[in-house]
């Protein structure tokens, strides 16, 4: 089978907080990722984002043993970016999705001038990408609100953070609008609700006495990000028409567990609250009536002004991107749960799962692409998709990861089918081209990459890069486009 779109963009995606290392070099401030320790006792199928108290997180800033906090060290992309980008190019990739660390550009958020050393680092990375023929997609905030913004302002719940972010955005646009091809203001913006510590930079322990206040704070932080994204689009229009801005969502496609009408209705509501609400605001420019009803019936009170709603209405996105890892099931009755990307969904007896409990559903990707295209008629880019597996090098200094080849191939086949369906999908970046530290469990053992990185969960190892079998498979696919 031949892949039918010649100008399709193929590549890999990473985040600064999971690969760069150099967590406190050249004026960079810490983020929550840098004070989240690896826990060897974690149950992978029950895992959730580390949730310590504010004092526990801040106390970890005093711990000098960096190996206890794997994201402080990452895979040392900060020093090895030239080697890694060359490997991406050799694999045949033509786009790299990466993130810029806000904490490298404005370490405290409120500086008058940006950190020139941080800007220079990313300028160097962009130049290396261009030298290797890679287009660039940049995520501007990827789970890494600087801790000084969390402690001084209370994260995105505070509307003052909108202005701090816009100052950051303006610097990035003016410095890099010639270098970057696609911009994403926020990674998985719906994480504001699923994991507000990472998404909007609040300490959940500040709201521990009142669950309702945490819910309201999460939606307020999300709203402020919607406003910031719209104002970022408004700003971009004034700077250059080369700046192309989309959204990024942790997509959560689900099915009713059966055809019982009550369960079908329950799944409809699940889709509204886990997917369509976010897309509707960013693509259509309006809060849908079903979410307004939810706010009213659950006494969720938000500070939303008519001016903000007007800004959101007038500054919608140009394209949609999302992460796609699994699907799940929904029932009004209690059903067996499976782990998903930061939240639990129902088990599907027809699907296989990874050792983290993530259900593998390639056809679900085609369904997702068709649903989003039919609803919004905007170009679509799959910005994350991949499989995490515990892996070790064999005696030939490689990994025989046939399961990853199977996973990638089956998902790419479904992208091909969606293109035949008439969906305007223009690119795909796998998570990830190279092994990184896991966002959720802070472990190196959960490996997604085509390239093996020789570090363990405590950063023991040489740091050398080794090509897995899947690397060579992808390289051949890029040459032949045969599936």
Q: What is the pLDDT of residue 394?
A: 95
Alpha-carbon span 72 to 190, nearest angstrom: 25
Which CATH number is associated with domain 9-480? Answer: 3.20.20.80
Among candidate residues 281, 360, 266, the one with its CA nearest the CA of residue 315 = 281
Provide CB contacts within 8 A for 124, sequence distance 6+: 81
For residue 359, is it left (φ>0), alpha (ψ between -120 and 50) or beta?
A: beta
Q: How far apart, in whole angstroms, are the C-alpha atoms of residue 131 and residue 96?
A: 13
CB 35 within 8 A of CB 61: yes
Tokens of 213: 């206040």
Please tell me the distance from the alpha carbon of residue 402 to that of residue 389, in angstroms, as a whole number.
11
Beta strands in 50-123 (DSSP E): 95-99
Closest CA to 389 of 398, 381, 399: 399
Q: Of 324, 323, 326, nearest to 339 (Cα)?
A: 326
Alpha helical stretches, state H, 95-210: 102-105, 116-131, 147-153, 160-176, 191-194, 196-200
Contact indicator for 190, 212 with CB cutoff of 8 Å: no
- Predicted pLDDT at 69: 92
- Residue 218 DSSP symbol: H
Write the CB contacts of 179 (distance below 8 Å, at least 6 apart in sequence). 123, 126, 127, 130, 136
Q: At what angle do helices 116-131 and 160-176 cross, to 10 degrees?
A: 50
- Taking residue 479's Cβ as centre, other Cβ atoms within 10 Å add up to 9
Q: What pLDDT was estimated at residue 44? A: 63
Cα 245 to Cα 260: distance, rounded to the nearest angstrom = 40
Which pair of structure tokens corresponds to residue 126? 């962009």
Strand pairing category for 319-323 and 380-384: parallel
Q: Under a CB-based contact definition with an 8 Å cutoff, are residues 408 and 11 in contact? A: no
Distance CA(139)–CA(245), nearest Å, equals 10
DSSP 44: G
Tens of each residue's pLDDT in the chain, 483 residues: 999 999 999 999 999 999 999 999 999 999 999 999 988 776 666 555 556 899 999 999 999 999 899 999 999 999 999 999 999 999 999 999 999 999 999 999 999 999 999 999 999 999 999 999 999 999 999 999 999 999 999 999 999 999 999 999 999 999 999 999 999 999 999 999 989 999 999 999 998 766 679 999 999 999 999 999 999 999 999 999 999 999 999 999 999 999 999 999 999 999 999 999 999 999 999 999 999 999 999 999 999 999 999 999 999 999 999 999 999 999 999 888 876 666 778 999 999 998 888 999 999 999 999 999 999 999 999 999 999 999 999 999 999 999 999 999 999 999 999 999 999 999 999 999 999 999 888 899 999 999 999 999 999 999 999 999 999 999 999 999 999
Structure tokens, 157: 């719940």
CB atoms within 10 A of CB 90: 12
Global confidence as pTM: 0.96
* CB-based contact 88:11 (threshold 8 Å): yes
All residues at 6 or more sequence positions from 120 whose CB lies less than 8 Å from its CB, including other chains: none
Q: In terms of Cα–Cα distance, which of 96, 40, 43, 101 is closest to 70?
A: 40
Rounded to 10 deg, the angle between the 469-480 and 402-421 helix axes is: 30
Could you list the active site residues?
384
Report the alpha-carbon distance of residue 473 to residue 478 in Å, rounded.
9
Predicted pLDDT of residue 338:
74
Whole-Å CA distances, 100 to 13, 327, 412: 12, 29, 28
């Amino acid at each position: 089978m031949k892949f039918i779109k010649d100008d399709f963009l193929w590549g890999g995606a990473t985040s600064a907080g999971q690969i760069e290392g150099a967590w406190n070099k050249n004026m960079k401030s810490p983020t929550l990722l840098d004070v989240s320790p690896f826990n060897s006792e974690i149950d992978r199928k029950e895992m959730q984002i580390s949730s310590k108290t504010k004092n526990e997180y801040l106390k970890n800033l005093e711990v000098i043993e960096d190996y206890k906090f794997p994201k402080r060290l990452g895979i040392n992309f900060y020093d090895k970016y030239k080697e890694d980008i060359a490997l991406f190019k050799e694999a045949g990739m033509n786009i790299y999705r990466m993130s810029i660390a806000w904490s490298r550009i404005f370490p405290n958020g409120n500086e008058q001038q940006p950190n020139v050393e941080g800007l220079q680092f990313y300028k160097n990375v962009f130049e290396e990408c261009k030298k290797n023929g890679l287009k660039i997609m940049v995520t501007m905030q990827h789970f890494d609100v600087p801790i000084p913004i969390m402690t001084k302002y209370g994260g995105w719940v505070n509307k003052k953070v909108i202005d701090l972010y816009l100052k950051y955005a303006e610097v990035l646009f003016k410095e890099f609008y010639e270098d970057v091809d696609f911009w994403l203001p926020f990674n998985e913006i719906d994480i504001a609700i699923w994991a507000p510590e990472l998404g909007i930079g609040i300490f959940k322990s500040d709201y521990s006495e009142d669950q309702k206040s945490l819910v309201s704070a999460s939606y307020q932080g999300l709203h402020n990000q919607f406003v910031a994204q719209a104002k970022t689009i408004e700003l971009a229009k004034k700077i250059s028409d080369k700046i192309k801005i989309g959204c990024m969502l942790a997509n959560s496609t689900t099915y009713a567990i059966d055809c019982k009408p009550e369960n079908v209705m329950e799944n409809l509501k699940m889709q509204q609250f886990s997917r369509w609400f976010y897309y509707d605001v960013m693509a259509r420019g309006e809060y849908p009536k079903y979410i307004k009803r939810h706010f009213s019936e659950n006494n969720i009170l938000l500070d939303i002004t008519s001016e903000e709603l007007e800004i959101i209405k007038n500054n919608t996105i140009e394209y949609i991107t999302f992460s796609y890892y699994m699907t799940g099931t929904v029932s009004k009755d209690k059903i067996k749960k499976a782990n998903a990307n930061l939240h639990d969904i129902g088990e599907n007896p027809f699907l296989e799962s990874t050792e983290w409990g993530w259900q593998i559903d390639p056809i679900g990707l085609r369904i997702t692409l068709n649903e989003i295209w039919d609803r919004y008629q905007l170009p679509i880019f799959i910005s994350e998709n991949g499989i995490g597996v515990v892996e070790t090098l064999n005696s030939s200094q490689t990994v025989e990861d046939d399961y990853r080849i199977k996973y990638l191939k089956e998902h790419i086949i479904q992208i091909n089918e969606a293109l035949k369906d008439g969906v305007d999908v223009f690119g795909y970046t796998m998570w990830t081209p190279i092994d990184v530290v896991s966002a959720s469990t802070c472990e190196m053992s959960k490996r997604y990459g085509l390239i093996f990185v020789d570090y363990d969960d405590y950063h023991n190892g040489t740091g050398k890069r080794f090509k897995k079998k899947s690397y060579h498979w992808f390289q051949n696919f890029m040459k032949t486009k045969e599936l």
